[in-house]
Amino acid sequence: MILPYTNPFLKQKMRTSNSQLVKAWMQNAGQLVTREQNSDAYVDLLENQMTYIEEEFYELLHAYNNLERSEVIKEATDVLWVTYGLLHTMGVDVEQAFVRLTDSNVSKLPFTYKDGKVQKGPNYKKPYLNDL
């Protein structure tokens, strides 16, 4: 177990977002390359990130099905971590993507429910993410 005061990423957390923590970790681990640096490495990293997402998703399902609350928390957070990793690997401004998606979700108001899911209201605007 790493104690909070020995973890440099935890210290950095006080100044940045979760997404930026993942990016810093990836940079320190040599897991970020641009498409221009090495296209084969870029494709490999994208494929690895998708594999990590799939793996963490199934670990989350297992924890949930076994009613292991602390494991559900851990695995759900791991899903977030590897999803941030995929977006960073793609060079996406994750914070901006999240803001735009939030704006899009808010635009669903007023909304209705169908089968327990929020349905898009008349004011819905699809998020524009092509420039990220």
Q: Tell me the pLDDT tens digit for each residue of 28-44.
A: 888 886 666 567 878 88
Per-10-residue mean pLDDT, the chain, length 132: 49 72 88 71 88 98 96 97 94 93 89 87 93 92
pLDDT at 120: 87
Output the pLDDT for position 41: 79
3-state SS string for the chain: CCCHHHCHHHHHHCCCCHHHHHHHHHHHCCCCCCCCCCHHHHHHHHHHHHHHHHHHHHHHHHHHHCCCHHHHHHHHHHHHHHHHHHHHHCCCCHHHHHHHHHHHHHCCCCCEEECCEEECCCCCCCCCCCCC
Q: What is the pTM of this model?
A: 0.80
pLDDT recorded at residue 111: 80
Domain positions in the chain: 11-92, 93-132
